A and B are shown apart, each in its own frame.
Chain A
Amino acid sequence: MSKESIIRGRVWKYGDDVNTDVIFPGKYTYTVSDPKEMPQYALEDLDPRFVKDMQPNDIIVAGTNWGCGSSREQAVTCLKESGLGAIVAKSIARIYYRNCINAALPALICPQAVEAIEDGESIEIDLQGGTIRCAGGEFSFPPLPEAVMKIFDAGGLVPYTRQQLERMKTSS
């Protein structure tokens, strides 16, 4: 992981217990299946400004239990496809967290940073170095382990597995 190790973006700050129904409404789960169409519904029932003003590499900063509720993968896909740079939260619901990593969307747990970061400010995340820099200071999070970095580099779990398989085939 090198070229995308540094993420600079503007912050969209939200509270606690934001569930997958407001991140990607349930009514679209069976009508919108193309990932490219998903960003237009992102956070529709939480913050209508997001789709209008969001720029690639922007960063969502949230409280506890971000992404709770349904396990729907679209709640991650819609943000990934919109070009979101990362999610920084006090905590992330278990399946949502796994879906982020498997979709190669950086999801970082750093409660102190969440406290310090203001809505709308620009922050910088160094994935490799494990730091978040904002106006309120610099905060560290445990660097993402090798195994997870490899999934990011491959672009997600499906391409990662494909690569692994090819490697296993050529080495045998």
Chain B
Amino acid sequence: MPQTFAEKVLSRKAGVAELSAGQIVEITPDVALSHDNTAPIYGIFQKMGAERVFDPEMHAIFLDHAAPAPTTKHAENHRLIREFVRQQGIPHFFEVGRGICHQVLVEEGLALPGEIVLGSDSHTPHAGSMGAFGAGIGRSEMASIWAIGSLWLRVPESIKIVVHGHLAEGVSAKDLALYVIGENGADAALYQSVEWHGEAIEALDISQRAVLPNMMAEMGAKNSYVPADEKTFAYLEGRAKRACEPVDPDEGARYARILEYDAAQIQPMIACPHTVDNVQPLSKLRGTRIHQAFLGTCTNGRLEDLAAAAAILEGKQIAKGVRMIVIPASSDVYLEALKAGYLETFVRAGAVIESPGCGPCMGNHMGVPAIDEVTISSANRNFRGRMGTKESEIYLASPAVVAASAVAGEISHPKDIN
């Protein structure tokens, strides 16, 4: 029987010939991802009576959510995690400043085609941009994997998204993701696997592809997948930590739904407060006053995102009364942006550059808004209170639109400011 990506990858991993949607299997993931929540998970792990982790190699642990530590409490949490890592002999540990878990997992060659990444973070589907199966799980579930090495998973039904043609100049994968979420709603992919296919997806670079699975968490998806191709393998050359075997869906696999879009029809989109599916074309929001522009996160904090913003900010100044926060998603991105001169462009334009990590995305530190302030952000969530106070608004957009809006002081298209 022809299988979807999810059916096929889970079948192979479980050693069961023909799994189909709805079945439940025990899976030993290739990667168990955790971040600043590693310490509370360790607490549950101990409650289970466990002492040693099942396989230290399986772990990938990142200090990114509040890093460097903003308070003593956060610092103590980091200290506990470092102790845990040392005691258990975990090799894949990434310190403060290395960057955001999802981005660094890809850079380190730990998110590999055909592999399974389970993470105690809702944006773990991100790993699907490399042709992996990435899914978010709860803390107790992560503790159980650490202890016994496996977890039950239900084989999800799949949605196939086919994007024909090519995105127009100035339209990015972020606009495509927001468009699809706006059209289908926040629960459209509940418990399902979302596959991305078509010419427009093949044309995207690795950095842009990452946006799509990352944002599918906001449509309820369990995982999301972009087929690994020559670009993926070229990126992994010299990076991949081990040999891998890619998995492609079969011709004729059964999908719960097939959605087709024409890339050329998509224009710059914005998710308005306070849900990610409250999406409008930018043209309807021009002129909305902003106080803060935030460029960064696992969704849009990569080199290409910084390049798009720098091209707009070159020789310009951020509007009076507006501040712009730039956070490279990783130390690799930071270094490359430094060499390329983007960071200089940002500083000259009046932006603030912070160290790699999640920053203010979930309201921890490094640029949270004041009451009644409006932020335009390149992140993936705009829920009420997400950035710290319920009394503020978040608009989500592409890096280019975030930069153009910072210059104009109001929601703007890059063309508006030239």
Which residues of chain A have a CB within 8 Å of any CB of chain B? 17, 65, 68, 71, 73, 91, 93-95, 97-99, 101-102, 142, 144-145, 147-148, 151, 157-158, 160-162, 164-166, 168
Contacts and interface: CB of A to CB of B under 8 A. Distances in A.
Complex A-B, nearest 4 residue pairs according to Cβ-Cβ distance, in ascending order: A94-B191, A145-B24, A161-B144, A161-B48
A149 B220 CA distance: 26
Contacts of B287: none
B222 A161 contact: no
Given A158-B44, A161-B48, A151 B190 contact: no
B141 interface: yes
B148 A164 contact: yes
Contacts of A95: 138
Given A94-B190, A147-B26, A102 B138 contact: yes
B44 A165 contact: no
B138 A73 contact: yes
B69 interface: no
A142 B22 CA distance: 9
B239 to A, nearest CB: 31
Interface residues of B, number: 25
Interface-centre pick from B25, B143, B144, B222 (highest chain A CB count, 10 A): B144
B49 A147 contact: no
Contact of A68 (B137, B148, B154, B187): B187
Contacts of B222: 94
A148 B154 CA distance: 10
B152 A97 contact: no
Given A94-B222, A168-B148, 16 more contacts: A65-B187, A71-B138, A93-B220, A94-B190, A94-B191, A98-B138, A98-B141, A99-B138, A102-B141, A147-B25, A148-B24, A157-B140, A158-B47, A161-B144, A164-B148, A166-B49
Given A65-B187, A91-B190, A94-B222, A161 B22 contact: no
A147 B22 contact: no
18 contacts: A17-B187, A65-B187, A65-B190, A68-B187, A73-B138, A94-B191, A95-B138, A98-B138, A98-B141, A147-B24, A158-B44, A161-B143, A161-B144, A161-B148, A164-B147, A165-B49, A165-B50, A165-B147
Nearest to A103: B140
A98 B136 CA distance: 11
Contacts, number: 68
A162 B141 contact: no
Nearest to A94: B191
B87 interface: no
B159 to A, nearest CB: 14
B418 interface: no
B23 interface: yes
A134 B141 CA distance: 35
A40 B138 CA distance: 25
Nearest to A142: B22
Given A145-B23, A147-B25, A164-B147, A101 B47 contact: no
Contacts of A68: 187, 190
Nearest to A101: B152
Contacts of A142: 22-23
Contacts of A97: 154, 191
A151 B152 contact: yes
B124 to A, nearest CB: 13
Contacts of B138: 71, 73, 95, 98-99, 102
Contacts of A147: 24-26, 152
Nearest to B145: A161
A158 B48 contact: yes
A91 B21 CA distance: 14
B218 to A, nearest CB: 13
A148 B155 CA distance: 13
A142 B187 CA distance: 24
A93 B191 CA distance: 7
A104 to B, nearest CB: 13
A97 to B, nearest CB: 7
